[in-house]
Amino acid sequence: MKFSVAIAEEALPAEPVLFRGDLIESMGKAEGMGYDAAEIHTRDAALLDLDALTGRGEKTSFTVSALATGLAKRVDGLTFISDDEAVREEAVARVKKFIEAAERLKTGVIVGSLRGIIPNPAERDVYDRRFRDCLEQLLPEAQNRGVDIHLEMINRYENNYLNTAREGLEYIKPLASGNLKLHLDTYHMNIEEADMTEAIRACGDRLGYFHVAENTRRYVGSGAIDFAKVFSALKDIGYRGYVSLECLALPDPDTAARKSIDFMRSIDRP
C-alpha cells in the first residue's frame, strides 16, 4: 500500500492535519518517517508554490497524494450549495484552480465539506441541484486535465447528506464520469457504516481515495478499529490509491505520525 499524511502551511487549530508550516520541510519529515506521499490542505491552490513542489517531486519518489479543499469552506465560507449565487460561482472557480494545480502535481482533488450543509432538509432537491450543477461545471475541466475528483463521505454530525458509501455511489452514478470517485474515511465510516469492509467492497473500482484515523480520530492503532480487516478489504477490491492519515495531532504531531506509519506498515503484509 501507499501511505500518505496530511500537511498544511496553515490550518485551523482543530483541523486533523499533522504537519504544519513549510510544505517542503513537512514533506521531508514525512518521507523520513516512511510515508510515500503528503496530502496538502490549503484554502486556495493559488497560494501553493507549484514550482517548488514539482521540483521536489523530480528529485524523489515521494509524491502529493491529493489536494484537499476543505479550508476554502472553513476559512472563506465557500460552498457549492450556498443561497448566494456569487458564493457558488467562487467555489467553482476556486476548485478549478485546485484542478489546474493537481494537473501539474499529477494528483487528485478532494471535495468534502466544501459541498456545504443543507440548511432546510425539506428543500433538499434545491440543494442537490446546486451541488450537481457545480460538479457538472467541474467534471469537464477535470477530465480535460486528467484529474480525479474524490467526493468524500462525511458523518452526519459534520454534514447532513452523502454520509455513507451507498449514498455516494447512488449520487455519482447519474454523472457517469470516470473522473469522479468516492472517498471514504475510517473515522466517518465508524459512525455511519454498519460494516466498513462491506462499504469498501461495495465501492469497488469507484473508490478513489481513502483516509484513516481511529474511532476517536486519533492516530491509527490507538483505538478500536480493526485496520487489518480494513486493509484486507482494500486489497480485495484491488485498491491502488493512497491510504492517507488525517488525524488529530495528539499527543503531538510527530508521535501520531510515527505510531501510525509503524502500525500500518506492521499490518500491511503481502
User: Rounded to an integer, what distance in angstroms lies between the CA atom of residue 212 and that of residue 16?
Assistant: 11
Reference 245, options 259, 226, 266; nearest CA is 259
Q: How far apart are CA 19 and CA 8, in angstroms?
A: 7
**DSSP output for 164-225:** SHHHHHHHHGGG--TTEEEEEEHHHHHHH-S-HHHHHHHHGGGEEEEEE--TTSS-TTSSS-
- Euclidean distance between CA atoms 241 and 39, whole angstroms: 12
> Considering 152, 192, 193, 214, which one is annotated as catalytic?
152
152 is catalytic: yes
Distance CA 124, CA 75 (A): 25
Residue 193 annotated to the active site: no
Residue 238 dihedral angles phi and psi, to the nearest 5°:
70, 30
**Residue 215 CB partners (closer than 8 Å, separation 6+):** 186, 187, 190, 223, 224, 225
Active site residues per annotation: 152, 246
